[in-house]
Structure formats: C-alpha cells, structure tokens
C-alpha cells in the first residue's frame, strides 16, 4: 500500500496514536494527538491497520522534543514526544474508555489522573539487558518488539540517578572481564535513601570467576551498595535489602514509617506516586479505628503497615513467601502489633475465609497485572467497602464488571501516573456494597 497521509485523533492503550484510512482505524507508534503524518501500512487486519511513521507533515501543538537520545529505538518509553499535560489528559481518556468498554463502568466515576512530581528520573528499579558483540559490551534495553539490545551508555532518562550511576560503574567493570560472557542482564533497584542492589543474571558457567572479579573491583563500584548473582541467590558483597519511607505526618498522627524489601523483592517503581496511592486509600477508607481490614496481595505491607494504625486489625495475604517475611519485619520494626500476615494464594485465602465465615469491613486488592483471582468469591465475603489498586486497566475493568455483577457499585476511580513517558497507568477504585 502506498504512503498515506492521516491525522492522529488520540493516543491508545499500548502507546500508539490512532488515525483513520478510509474509515478504518490505523495505529501509528510515536505519533501525537493532532499530528498530521505520512504513514506506511505495515499490516492490515479485518478491523484495523498498523503503520509506521514515515514523516510528520504538520506537528501537533502538544509535540515536544524527547530528551533521551535512544527514544524510539529503546522499547521502554513511548510518549517522550508528547507534553506531560497532554499525557495526563490522554491517560484519563484511555482509562475511562477502557472501564466503559470492558467493564460497563460509566466515565463520570473517573477522576483526573494524578500527575507525578518527577516526570523523569523517577524509576526506582530497572532491568538492563547485556549483550556482547566481539569485544564490545552493550548494556541497555531491548528494541521494541525484538531481543536486540539497544546500548544506553548515557543511562536511562526515567531512572533515578543512583540506578544510572550504578549501571555506569558496572558497565565499566564488566566490559573488561572475560567472565562477562554468559551475563544476560542486570536488575538494579534503589531505596529512597539512594542505596542500590544489583543482581546479575545469566549462565552459571563462569559464576565463581565472575564473583571473584567483581569482589576485587568493589572499590570501582561505589554506587553499588549490594551485589548478587544468579537471581540474588549468590551474594558478592553488601546489603541485602532496600527501604523507602512514608514521612512523619504524611497521614494524620503517622510517625515516620520505613518499609523494606529484600533483594529481588517487589516495590512500586515511583515512590512519590506510591505515597499518593497510600493517601487515596487512607482517605477512601474513612477509618474509625474499629475496622477489620483484609489486604489481599499485600506484598511487603506497603498498605497494611501504615494503615494498621487506623484500624483494629489487619490481615495481610500474599503468595510470595519472601514478601510476607518482609511484611512481618516491617510490622515489627514500626511497632505494629495488630497485623497478621500469611503466605497463601489469594484465591485460596478467600475460599478459606468464606468457609470460616470471616467478616471484614474493608478489603484492599493490589493484584499483579493479571488481576484478582476469584473476584466473584471476593464479593462473596460481603465487605461493605473494597478498594482495588491496579496496574492494568483492562484486567481492572474485567474484575470491576464481575464485582458489579455481584453486588458492588463503583463510586469513583482515581488514575495515578506511576509511569510518566509511557502509556502504563496505576489506579485506585472505590467500590461500595449495595444494600
């Protein structure tokens, strides 16, 4: 098909812009709402097309210059070319449209997206890919829709400075080591205090020599506070956990609360926006001090530990045993005595609570991207209030439909921009049981 000129109407979940060719939807990556562009159709399906951006004929007013030199090659960010205010507006529209189409939830319950104070340098963890080509070492990110490593010697524009500092130091050390062959990637995470833990992944064939070489080079890695091999199983040196802080007084009468997670453990990638989620959950919980709170997919106690001070009892459920160990430590370190954490699959836990006729005043859900398992059974617990925290609008919409069909009403939904410069989005949704 010859080159076509189209106007981009809006951005879509997945990151591409939407235009139309003879009425058929055409998705164009790296386009902006209001762009007039020339495109070349790469593939055509029954109901839509996918096209590559050949040129920008007339740029949209919201189009800005991306600061990252590998933007468009790296498969990470997809919206650096769009002004941040437009990103927020598009995310609100995408979120509301997803809930309406997939969940039957009317758009008026969706609040404007809460923007991030840091639009760059916000990420607290990254996954870098490593490849060797002859004598050269490439450390960066996969190109979009491929396993080709795009080298990022300047670091990552959306990653916090300690991560980029650690990556630069590791690059210099690893690139000169013969043992680097077999290393396929590096995960780096940082706490809110700037400490970092790096985990090297890959073949164990030269593991012993690699560990020895890295230990000898420790003085060249001042930004790496802890270093591990083999998915975190083999320690080379340094600390074994990271922490982030909920400041004193962030919630009424809340003392400073420090939450830790072990190497390789889960934490939100944007600490500032995690606080916004916590504030939203606290406000919507409207706690009186007498509540029994169930926190499903509780992780390291991210919500359970700070909120325990406002309720009578917290039960936290998490299927990943190391995260439960973190949650228990966090409760103890912060003087929380009314929280119990159990290692159990969330769906199995719900079935147990149903069989034992347990009652809860409020349920917090913070499932993985795949959504909440057994949403109908969660509804069967009959809690007056559910607050559903989600990182995936489509699975959230699916589960909201199930909960709505089983006695709940969605009162409001708050998108929170945890991931600036990308189409990804976090949210909190308040549901009330119908009488």
Q: Find the catalytic residue in 12, 62, 74, 391.
A: 391
Selection from 261, 198, 267 nearest residue 234 by Cα: 198
Residues with Cβ within 8 Å of 170's Cβ and at least 6 positions away in sequence, in order, are 139, 186, 188, 198, 221, 224
Dist. CA 374–CA 5, nearest whole Å: 47
The rounded distance, in Å, linking the Cα atoms of 111 and 101 is 17
Instruction: Give the Cα separation of 363 and 217 in Å (integer).
Output: 48
Residue 216, both tokens: 């000898």
Distance separating alpha carbons of residues 72 and 50, to the nearest angstrom: 16
Active site residue 62: no
Task: Return d(Cα 288, Cα 224) in angstroms, integer.
Answer: 44
The CA distance from 300 to 204, in Å, is 29
- Eight-state DSSP code of residue 115: P
The closest alpha carbon to 277, from 159, 113, 433, belongs to 113
Counted residue by residue, the chain has a size of: 435
Q: CB–CB of 267/334 below 8 Å?
A: no
Q: Which residues contact 268 (CB under 8 A, 6 or more apart)?
A: 124, 274, 277, 302, 418, 426
Cα–Cα–Cα angle for 197, 202, 207, rounded to 5 degrees: 80
Q: Tokens representing 339?
A: 């929280």
Which one, of 29, 80, 58, 12, lies nearest residue 40 by Cα?
Answer: 29
Closest CA to 347 of 324, 368, 331: 368
The full DSSP string for 351-388 is: HHHHHTT---SEEEE---TT--TTHHHHHHT--SEEEE
* Cα(221)–Cα(326) distance, integer angstroms: 27
Catalytic residue positions? 391
């Amino acid at each position: 098909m010859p080159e076509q000129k189209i106007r981009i109407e809006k951005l879509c979940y997945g990151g591409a812009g939407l235009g139309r060719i003879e009425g058929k939807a055409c998705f164009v990556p790296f386009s902006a709402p209001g762009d007039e562009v020339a495109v070349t159709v790469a593939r055509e399906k029954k109901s839509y097309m996918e096209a590559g951006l050949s040129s920008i004929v007339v740029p949209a007013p919201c189009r800005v210059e991306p600061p990252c030199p590998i933007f468009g090659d790296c498969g990470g960010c997809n919206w650096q070319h769009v002004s941040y205010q437009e990103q927020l507006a598009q995310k609100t529209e995408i979120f509301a449209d997803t809930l309406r189409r997939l969940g039957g939830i009317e758009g008026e319950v969706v609040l404007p997206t809460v923007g991030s104070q840091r639009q760059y340098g916000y990420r607290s963890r990254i996954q870098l890919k490593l490849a060797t080509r002859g004598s050269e070492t490439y450390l960066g990110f996969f190109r979009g829709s491929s396993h080709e490593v795009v080298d990022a010697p300047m670091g990552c524009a959306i990653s916090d400075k300690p991560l980029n500092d650690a990556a630069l130091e590791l690059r210099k050390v690893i690139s000169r080591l013969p043992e680097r062959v077999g290393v396929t990637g590096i995960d780096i995470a940082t706490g809110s205090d700037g400490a970092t833990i790096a985990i090297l992944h890959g073949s164990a064939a030269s593991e012993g020599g690699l560990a020895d070489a890295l230990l000898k080079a420790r003085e060249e890695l001042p930004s790496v506070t802890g270093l591990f091999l083999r998915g975190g199983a083999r320690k080379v040196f340094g600390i074994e956990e990271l922490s982030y802080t909920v400041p004193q007084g962030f919630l009424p009468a809340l003392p400073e609360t420090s939450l830790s997670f072990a190497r390789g453990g889960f934490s939100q990638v944007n600490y500032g926006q995690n606080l916004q989620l916590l504030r939203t959950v606290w406000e919507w919980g409207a706690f009186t001090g007498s509540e029994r709170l169930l926190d499903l997919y509780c992780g390291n106690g991210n919500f359970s530990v700070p909120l325990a001070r406002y309720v009578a009892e917290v039960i936290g459920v998490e299927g990943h045993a190391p995260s439960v160990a973190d949650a228990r430590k966090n409760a103890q370190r912060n003087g929380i005595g009314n929280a119990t954490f159990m290692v159990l699959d969330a769906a199995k836990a719900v079935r147990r609570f149903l069989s034992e006729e347990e009652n809860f005043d409020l349920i917090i859900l913070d499932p993985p991207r795949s959504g909440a398992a057994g949403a109908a059974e969660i509804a069967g617990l009959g809690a007056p209030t559910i607050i559903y925290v989600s990182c995936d609008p489509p699975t959230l919409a699916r589960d909201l439909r199930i909960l709505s069909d089983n006695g709940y009403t969605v009162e409001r939904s708050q998108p929170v921009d945890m991931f600036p410069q990308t189409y990804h989005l976090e949210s909190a949704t308040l549901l009330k049981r119908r009488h």
